[in-house]
């Protein structure tokens, strides 16, 4: 038996944290039925003094063990050691570390610096941004350094260098946050980059989200690029040096002439200053920086992993379009940029214009112009001006959503046969995360669907969870609500989601409203305010199913990883949100309401709501603006009351969970007792005030039957009617799904509940529009915003072709095709029960739970069914074969076989 994956705050050996840590680990053993029986955890400070000695504690708990020792010191590395014993008497030890950052604002001695010359704000559109700003400062190293740390951030986005080299490969630091309340700084180990004598730090700052016209913060900002960095050196003799940004720093501009996260980047290699971040560079023509009093109160150490280059792809073709355009095809829709190797004449301009799809004839097609939420400016163009040499260029402060790239040199399309495909590389970007899930089966189309889901997730987990990478690049809360669980079944998103949820706290207003987009920036605050005013409300713009992410996302994290720490972190945010729902239901009634007061006061049925959002049959080519308001209102008649109830009910359940998990539990017990009766009354109000006395719903839409069935809201006397209505709705829709964002994740599960798993499989395998596989049939490499991506003539619609919401179907696929069904939070108890429908002959699914890897690998040859199963330590499993045979087991590797009859 051994301990693996000892982590702090869900990260391995994190450098630079400023929150109270928690710990987790996994066990691995070749002995079957292995369970941890006790652990002992110690934490020691840099002087070797024990600051926490917990245990031995008799428990099988190995996740989210909160630190409860002496107060931690700033800028200190702590050693963790955990020892465990299992039920077989085996013992094991493992050690790791974490390092704190600056734990108080007054520990910043560096000063904010900016160019002396005042800057004008950037404007929307390609080429309308400002040049990036170069900062440099020299310092000396006088002795043997044993520890060297750099703490850095900016107003904008930055790249940092020590003596001309980057300390790591991250991009888009300091990340996308609610800057007025939460600005991340990063911690770097720069010891390997230092040298005796003269050294230099260089920082290049572009607009980033902070200054981008499409995503500027919801506050008054100074248009200046600004930098803050603090270097702390510890010498062998114990002496320390602190070098901070100040007025001795020098400022210039360089090759990045304009950089907009949405519109793209202009780079003029003729203006490069080689060696500008090195100590011996001649900076006599540079100007001195000026200091700024921006303060330090909003600074927090970055929680979670950085944005990184995560994959690279070469073109699968270089085409000449019917219009005479030269187009690169990378074969995969993604989020990122193109790295290009060039050898052009001095002054020649290479222009790269990115798009997701081509038109029906194979020409370049920009389907995202004038994107509503982003307010336009999504040109997705990069320009590189050559200095005449052999050069490699990749953008610095922009990224795009694309598969295709239109190339011109000085405005003309180069002949495809003159281009070397090896000179172009699509670089996919995403927040760095551990891969925790895999899926492969005997059907190529289903495999492609799974890969499409993964690529859309990869593309839209970039600093925050976004809706799409090419248009809005925004943290839409509704998208995350429906997809969070599936995301966690594919990648370890815990740290990323934790940081985003903290942003949600920052954006929550005085009324408890969680806005529709987090961070709420750019045009969204004004759009939201207008939404609220139009519906007679106050505060930020929100909607049922969107603001409810405040409760549902943390609870999804708890379901998948047993994360109680996130429930504690978000508790007051959740409670303020559900209080808002309860007030809205009690204080506002629809016009001409005839429901009894005892029912109406528990229904959230007023305000602005998106409803299901993008019901396929109602939006056959992108977004049907003419029909939008009607469908939103029709579907909101059931989505708003149901999701309002769901938030209150789930919050009551969370309070009960924390009452059991927390020693100081009086608050949680009180809240559980308070909110459970309210949730019950809301359920009763739905059954009497939303569902008609005849079993009818406010709208005859597929989702209107899905939600009540899935959430067990249908009165017993109407259950058969609802089941029949759902089946009839599918039949009327030609055997296709017709559910929007808020209901699609529950559709196939609802069919399971009425005993129609066969029909669920028919929807999964459907290839007509609208369906999941219809996108695959049409060549999709990511999940689309709407399954009607093209009209009847083959023209692409004005929609995002990289939008993960409908990819939530993967959760059902994992549970039914692969058969891994969680029976307890964190998968500590699971049911392995694949339900072959006759379409597949083989299926394999792996998932790294917080306990270790669960693996199911089954094959079917005729009537012979075989299955190999791996169950990790600390996990109990219930195995049910297709013939009904049932076995209960603990950890281990097992082989099963039976005869099966599949239609």
pLDDT averaged over every residue in the chain:
95
The one-character DSSP state at 120 is P
Mean pLDDT of the region 859-880: 97
The one-character DSSP state at 193 is G
Q: What is the model's pLDDT at position 622? A: 64
Distances 395 to 267, 404, 609 between C-alpha atoms, Å: 8, 17, 39
pLDDT tops 80 at residue 374: no
- Residues 524, 528, 534, 535: what is their CA dihedral angle, to the nearest 10 degrees? 150
Q: What is the model's pLDDT at position 903? A: 58
Band of residue 706 on the pLDDT scale cut at 50, 70, 90: very high
Band of residue 369 on the pLDDT scale cut at 50, 70, 90: low
Please tell me the distance from the alpha carbon of residue 712 to that of residue 689, in angstroms, as a whole number: 16
- Domains located in the chain, CATH noted: 2-100 (2.60.40.10), 105-259+273-304 (2.60.120.260), 315-431 (2.60.120.260), 437-729 (1.50.10.10), 825-899 (2.60.420.10)
Is residue 254 within 8 Å of 272, Cβ to Cβ?
yes
Model pLDDT for residues 274-319, shown as the tens digit of each residue:
999 999 999 999 999 999 999 999 999 999 999 999 999 999 999 9
Please tell me the distance from the alpha carbon of residue 751 to that of residue 709, in angstroms, as a whole number: 9
Band of residue 627 on the pLDDT scale cut at 50, 70, 90: confident
Is residue 436 within 8 Å of 847, Cβ to Cβ?
yes
Model pLDDT for residues 708-766, shown as the tens digit of each residue:
999 999 999 999 999 999 999 999 999 999 999 999 999 999 999 999 999 999 999 99
Model pLDDT for residues 427-475, shown as the tens digit of each residue:
999 999 999 999 999 999 999 999 999 999 999 999 999 999 999 999 9
pLDDT tops 50 at residue 375: no
Model pLDDT for residues 247-271, shown as the tens digit of each residue:
999 999 999 999 999 999 999 999 9
Model pLDDT for residues 825-848, shown as the tens digit of each residue:
999 999 999 999 989 999 999 999
Which of 885, 786, 787, 873 shows the shortest CA–CA distance to 833?
Answer: 885
Mean pLDDT of the region 111-116: 98
Band of residue 372 on the pLDDT scale cut at 50, 70, 90: very low
Q: What is the model's pLDDT at position 630? A: 87
pLDDT tops 80 at residue 371: no
Is residue 457 within 8 Å of 466, Cβ to Cβ?
no
The DSSP bridge partners found for residue 201 are: 137, 162
Band of residue 852 on the pLDDT scale cut at 50, 70, 90: very high
Half-sphere exposure (Cβ direction) of 744: Cα atoms closer than 13 Å: 32
Is residue 480 within 8 Å of 488, Cβ to Cβ?
no
What's the 3-state SS for 755-812?
CCHHHHHHHHHCCCCCCHHHHHHCCCCCCCCCCCCECCCCCECCCCCCCCHHHHHHHH
Residues 6+ apart with CB under 8 A from 30: none
Band of residue 623 on the pLDDT scale cut at 50, 70, 90: low
Which of 259, 252, 251 shows the shortest CA–CA distance to 206?
Answer: 259
Is residue 121 within 8 Å of 210, Cβ to Cβ?
no
Mean pLDDT of the region 150-170: 98
Give phi and psi for 526, each to the nearest 5. Answer: -70, -40
Is residue 241 within 8 Å of 147, Cβ to Cβ?
no
What's the 3-state SS for 25-78?
EEEECCCCCCCEEEEEEEEECCCCCEEEEEEEEECCCCCCEECCCCCCCCCCEE
Q: What is the CA radius of gyration of the chain?
A: 28
- Residues 619, 624, 628, 634: what is their CA dihedral angle, to the nearest 10 degrees? -30
Q: What is the model's pLDDT at position 792? A: 87
pLDDT tops 80 at residue 373: no
Band of residue 377 on the pLDDT scale cut at 50, 70, 90: low
Please tell me the distance from the alpha carbon of residue 711 to that of residue 703, in angstroms, as a whole number: 12
Residues 6+ apart with CB under 8 A from 827: 560, 820, 847, 849, 850, 851, 854, 875
Say how many C-beta atoms besides its own lie within 10 A of residue 439's C-beta.
Answer: 23
pLDDT tops 90 at residue 348: yes
Q: How far is CA 439 from the centre of its chain?
A: 20
Is residue 228 within 8 Å of 54, Cβ to Cβ?
no
Please tell me the distance from the alpha carbon of residue 32 to that of residue 108, in angstroms, as a whole number: 53
Please tell me the distance from the alpha carbon of residue 85 to that of residue 265, in angstroms, as a whole number: 56
pLDDT tops 90 at residue 90: yes
pLDDT tops 80 at residue 790: yes
Mean pLDDT of the region 116-138: 94
């Amino acid at each position: 038996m051994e301990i693996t994956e000892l982590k702090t705050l869900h990260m391995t050996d994190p450098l630079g944290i400023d929150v109270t840590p928690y710990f987790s680990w996994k066990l691995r053993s070749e002995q079957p039925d292995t369970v941890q029986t006790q652990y002992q955890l110690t934490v020691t400070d840099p002087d070797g003094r024990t600051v926490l000695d917990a245990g031995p504690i008799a428990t099988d708990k190995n996740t989210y063990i909160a630190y409860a020792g002496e107060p931690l010191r700033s800028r200190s590395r702590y050693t963790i050691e955990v020892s465990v014993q299992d039920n077989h008497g085996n013992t094991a030890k493992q050690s790791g570390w974490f390092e704190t950052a600056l734990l108080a604002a007054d520990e910043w001695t560096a000063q904010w610096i900016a160019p002396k010359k005042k800057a004008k704000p950037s404007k929307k559109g390609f080429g309308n941004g400002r040049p990036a700003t170069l900062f440099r400062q020299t310092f000396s190293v006088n002795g043997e350094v044993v520890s060297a740390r750099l703490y850095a951030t900016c107003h904008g986005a930055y790249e940092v260098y020590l003596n001309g080299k980057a300390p790591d490969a991250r991009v888009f630091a300091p990340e996308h946050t609610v800057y007025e309340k939460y600005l991340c700084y990063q911690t770097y180990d720069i010891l390997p980059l230092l040298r005796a004598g003269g050294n230099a730090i260089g920082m290049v700052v572009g607009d980033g989200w902070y200054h981008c016209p499409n995503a500027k913060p919801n506050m008054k900002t100074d248009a200046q690029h600004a930098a803050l960095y603090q270097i702390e050196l510890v010498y062998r003799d114990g002496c320390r040096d602190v070098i901070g940004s100040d007025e001795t720093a020098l400022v210039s501009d360089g090759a990045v002439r304009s950089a907009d996260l949405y519109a793209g980047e202009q780079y003029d290699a003729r203006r490069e200053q080689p060696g500008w971040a090195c100590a011996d560079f001649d900076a006599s023509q540079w100007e001195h920086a000026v200091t700024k009093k921006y303060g330090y109160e909003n600074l927090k150490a970055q929680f979670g992993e950085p944005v990184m280059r995560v994959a690279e792809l070469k073109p699968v073709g270089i085409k000449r379009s019917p219009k005479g355009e030269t187009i690169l095809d990378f074969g995969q829709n993604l989020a990122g940029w193109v790295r290009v190797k060039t050898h052009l004449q001095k002054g020649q301009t290479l222009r790269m214009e990115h798009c997701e799809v081509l038109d029906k004839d194979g020409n370049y097609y920009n389907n995202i112009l004038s994107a509503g939420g982003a307010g336009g400016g999504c040109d997705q163009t990069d320009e590189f001006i050559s200095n005449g040499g052999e050069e490699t260029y990749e953008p610095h402060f922009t990224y795009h959503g694309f598969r295709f790239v239109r190339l011109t040199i000085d405005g003309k399309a180069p002949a495809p046969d003159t281009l070397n495909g090896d000179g172009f590389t699509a670089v996919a970007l995403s927040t760095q995360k551990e891969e925790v899930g895999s899926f492969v089966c005997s059907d190529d189309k289903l495999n492609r669907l799974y890969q499409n889901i993964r690529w859309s997730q990869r593309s839209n987990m970039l600093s925050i969870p976004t809706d799409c990478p090419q248009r809005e690049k925004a943290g839409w809360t509704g998208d995350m609500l429906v997809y969070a669980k599936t995301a966690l079944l594919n990648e370890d998103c815990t740290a990323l989601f934790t940081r985003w949820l903290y942003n949600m706290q920052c954006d929550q207003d005085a009324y408890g409203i969680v806005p529709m987009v987090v961070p709420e920036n750019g045009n969204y605050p004004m759009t939201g305010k207008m939404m609220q005013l139009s519906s007679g409300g106050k505060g930020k713009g929100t909607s049922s199913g969107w603001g409810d992410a405040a409760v549902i996302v943390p609870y999804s994290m708890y379901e998948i990883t047993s994360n109680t720490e996130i429930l504690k972190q978000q508790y007051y945010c959740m409670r303020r949100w559900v209080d808002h729902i309860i007030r809205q239901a009690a204080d506002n009634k629809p016009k001409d309401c005839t429901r009894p007061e005892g029912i109406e006061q528990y229904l959230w049925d007023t305000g602005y709501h998106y409803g299901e959002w993008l019901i396929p049959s109602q939006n056959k080519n992108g977004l049907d603006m003419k029909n939008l308001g009607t469908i939103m209102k029709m579907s909101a008649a059931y989505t708003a009351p149901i999701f309002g109830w769901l938030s209150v009910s789930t919050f009551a359940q969370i309070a009960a969970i924390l009452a059991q998990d927390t020693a100081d539990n009086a608050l949680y017990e009180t809240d559980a007792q308070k909110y459970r009766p309210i949730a019950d009354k809301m359920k009763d109000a739905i059954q009497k005030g939303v569902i008609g006395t005849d079993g009818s719903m406010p709208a005859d839409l597929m989702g209107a039957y899905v939600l009540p069935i899935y959430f067990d809201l249908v009165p017993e006397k109407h259950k058969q009617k609802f089941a029949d209505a759902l089946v009839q709705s599918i039949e009327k829709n030609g055997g296709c799904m017709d559910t929007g964002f808020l209901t699609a994740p529950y559709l196939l599960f609802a069919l399971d509940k009425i005993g129609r798993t066969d029909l669920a499989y028919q929807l999964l395998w459907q290839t007509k529009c609208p369906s999941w596989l219809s996108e695959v049939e049409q060549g999709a490499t990511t999940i689309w915003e709407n399954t009607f991506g093209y009209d009847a003539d083959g023209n692409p619609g004005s929609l995002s072709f990289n939008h993960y919401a409908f990819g939530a179907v993967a959760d059902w696929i994992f549970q039914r095709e692969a058969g891994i069904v969680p029976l307890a939070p964190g998968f500590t108890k699971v049911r392995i029960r694949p339900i072959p429908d006759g379409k597949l002959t083989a299926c394999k699914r792996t998932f790294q739970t917080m306990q270790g890897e669960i693996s199911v690998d089954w094959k079917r040859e005729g009537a012979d069914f075989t299955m190999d199963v791996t169950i990790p330590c600390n996990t109990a499993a219930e195995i049910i074969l297709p013939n009904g045979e049932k076995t209960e087991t603990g950890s281990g590797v097992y082989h099963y076989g039976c005869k099966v009859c599949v239609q």
